[in-house]
Amino acid sequence: MIKVGLVGGTGYTGVELLRILVSHPEVEITAITSRSEVSKPVSSLFPSLRGHLDLVFSEPSLSNLTACDLIFFATPNGTAMKMVPELLDTGVKVIDLAADFRFKDQAEWSQWYGESHACPELLSEAVYGLPEINRELIRNAQIVANPGCYPTATILGFLPLVENNWIDCSQLIADTKSGASGAGRSAKISNLYCEVAENMQAYAVPGHRHLPEIKQALVTVSGLPVGLTFVPHLTPMIRGIHATLYANLLDSDKSLEEIQHCFEQRYLEEPFVDVLESGAHPQTRSVKGANFCRIAVHKPQDRNTVVVLSVIDNLVKGAAGQAIQNMNLMFGLSETTGLEFAPLLP
Q: How confident is the model at residue 12 (pLDDT cuts 50, 70, 90)?
A: very high
Give the predicted TM-score (pTM) of the model: 0.97
Check whether 275 has a pLDDT greater than 80: yes
pLDDT at 243 over 90: yes
pLDDT value of position 46 = 95
Mean pLDDT score across all residues of the chain? 96
Q: Is 149 a catalytic residue?
A: yes
Q: CATH 1.20.1300.10: does it fit domain 2-146+319-330?
A: no
d(CA 61, CA 289): 31
Taking CA atoms, 216 is separated from 102, 133, 149, 326, 329, in Å, by 9, 13, 15, 20, 23
The pLDDT tens digits for 144-190 are 999 999 999 999 999 999 999 999 999 999 999 999 998 888 778 88
Q: CA of 313: how far to CAs of 49, 125, 283, in Å? A: 20, 28, 10
Asked if 109 contacts 117 with a C-beta cutoff of 8 angstroms, the reply is: yes
Task: Return the sign of the alpha-carbon dihedral for residues 313, 319, 322, 328.
Answer: negative
All residues at 6 or more sequence positions from 30 whose CB lies less than 8 Å from its CB, including other chains: 3, 4, 5, 55, 67, 68
- pLDDT of res. 293: 98
Q: Give the mean model confidence (pLDDT) for residues 308-326.
A: 98
Q: According to the model, what pLDDT value does residue 190 have?
A: 81
Q: What are the residue ranges spanned by the domains of the chain?
A: 2-146+319-330, 149-312
Nearest to 321 by CA among 341, 302, 346, 295: 341
Alpha-carbon distance of 278 to 211, in angstroms, equals 28
Q: Which helix or strand (DSSP H or E) is residue 233 part of? A: strand 228-234
Percent of the chain with pLDDT over 70: 100
Q: Which of 68, 119, 149, 293 is catalytic?
A: 149
Q: Which of 160, 155, 158, 96 is nearest to 130 (CA)?
A: 155
Is the peptide bond preceding residue 160 cis, with omega within 30 degrees of 0?
Answer: no
pLDDT at residue 186, as a whole number? 78
Q: Output the pLDDT for position 183.
A: 83
pLDDT at 281: 98
What is d(CA 321, CA 86) in angstroms, rounded to the nearest whole number?
A: 26
Per-residue pLDDT tens for 62-84? 888 999 999 999 999 999 999 99
Q: Which amino acid is at 91?
A: G
pLDDT at 207: 94
What average pLDDT does range 12-31 have in this prediction?
97
pLDDT beyond 90 at 193: no
CATH topology of domain 149-312: Dihydrodipicolinate Reductase; domain 2 (3.30.360)
Closest CA to 102 of 123, 86, 78: 123
